[in-house]
Chain A
Amino acid sequence: MVDVVEVLSIGPHGELEVEEADGSHSGCFSFVAAGVSELAPAISLNVSPGGGSGSWCGEFFGGHEDVSSVVLGVSLSTGDGVLVVARGVGYLVPVGAPEVFEVVSLRPIRDVVVCASDGVALLVGYTDVVAVGAGGELWDSGRLVWDGFTSVRVGSGSVVVTGFDAPSGRDVEITLDLATGDVLSRF
């Protein structure tokens, strides 16, 4: 099965170029999270920061979700970064120092929703949403729904999610502050 890698952007990324690599290469960085199978990478990428130097390739090992994305324009404390979601497993990688990558706390990631105007990427799991932006992970919503979101909408500084709430036995609509993750309303 060949994954379709979706490339998104949440901010300026200069001359940074990311493209899928063909097959496996020696000398690539391996990005592996705890508990992830290392039999074969979910996706392989060539990353070129621009200016003709510092290019590297990476093999990103993933899980079982049918979600693979690359988000450009992620500003990290260590410099420009990319967010790579490899079959549901997320990696935050400084472009200039890929060896100091971080694994996103949310697993599995089932969807990636970007809000370029706010510089935020939302990682959607089964019950939680994690926001990634300048500096890395911005907030984790905690459990919002009980067994999967039916919709996640972003706009005008807020996030609106819907899904099943088991204690009340019904579907709920929850509005979050995009900047903080705080719950603004719940119906």
Chain B
Amino acid sequence: MSSSTSRVRLTPCSLAGSFITALLVLAAVFGGLLPAVAMASADDAGTKYTYDADDGTASTAPTGLLDAAEQAVTGFSPHVRVKAPAVPLPPAARFVAPGSLADDAARLGDDAVGAVSPTLEVGGTRYIYGDRVLNRAVAVPGPYHNFPSSFDADVLTTGTRTVVNDGYIQYTLPGSVNGVRGVYEIGTRPTALGGGELITHRFFRPGG
């Protein structure tokens, strides 16, 4: 290679990859900033998210998990742009103030969530965002780990629900990110809470 922007590496079998360090999120404020909207598409700072919906498409203020975390720290997010009137959540869905979960979280144990994790109530089920999901959204800030949280209600209600085993349920909904087709995935495990599920996996799988 003659270009100054190139480097040559001829390697034998080698070690590659890197550990991704999880970062803590100020979930206390974070939960309250999750957008109470449902959408079929969103444009987040140049990233185009869509999912396949039966009721047409709507575009509104997009907020990924990472953006919400930034808002918690800075008080505002430069990424939020309102493009259309918000579409309300389905009647059965609502976000719950995180502070109300203090007692529940204590019962869930250390591996579950902090006492202030954000939650989402959809169809009578309380979904709690686990620490791992929040940490991954911060640690891997790309669109695949950080699609708008406002998609979650539709993934959970209209997506395909698969009981993988006693401790894991996966919800999937086809869609695309930046034109790349794939599947929005939300994985949960039942919690000690009555009817509650802890979100342990949240990812857009390209090509999935």
Instruction: Please give me the residue from chain A that is nearest to B16 by CB atom.
Output: A113
A111-141 CB mask vs B (1 if < 8 Å, else 0) is 1011111100000111100000000000000
- Taking the closest CB of chain B, its distance from the CB of A131, in whole angstroms, is 13
Q: How large is the interface on B (under 10, 10 to 19, 20 to 34, 35 or more residues)?
A: 35 or more
Number of A-B contacts (CB under 8 A): 127
Chain B residues, Cβ within 8 Å of A79: none
Interface contact A107-B206, CB-CB below 8 Å: yes
Nearest A residue to B15 by beta-carbon distance?
A: A153
Interface residues as binary, B174-208 with A (CB distance below 8 Å gives 1, 0 otherwise): 00001111000101010000000000110101111
Q: Given the known A-B contacts A35-B179, A127-B205, A147-B203, are A167 and B168 also in contact in the complex, defined by CB atoms under 8 Å?
A: yes
Q: A126 vs B208: C-alpha distance in the bound complex, in angstroms? A: 11
Closest to A146 in B: B201
With A35-B180, A63-B180, A107-B206 known to touch, is A154 a contact of B14 (CB < 8 Å)? yes
Query: Inside 8 A of B16's CB, which chain A residues have their CB?
Result: 111, 113, 124, 151-154
B13/A7 in contact, CB under 8 A: no
Q: Is the CB of A113 within 8 A of B6?
A: no
Instruction: Return B4 CB to nearest CB of chain A, in Å.
Output: 9
Interface size on A, residues (CB 8 A): 45
- With A5-B6, A7-B6 as given contacts, are A151 and B140 in contact (CB-CB < 8 Å)? no
> Are the CB atoms of B17 and A167 closer together than 8 Å?
no
A30 at the A/B interface (Cβ < 8 Å)?
A: no
What is B's interface to A at a CB cutoff of 8 Å? 1-3, 5-20, 132, 136, 140, 142, 144-145, 164-165, 167-168, 170, 178-181, 185, 187, 189, 200-201, 203, 205-208
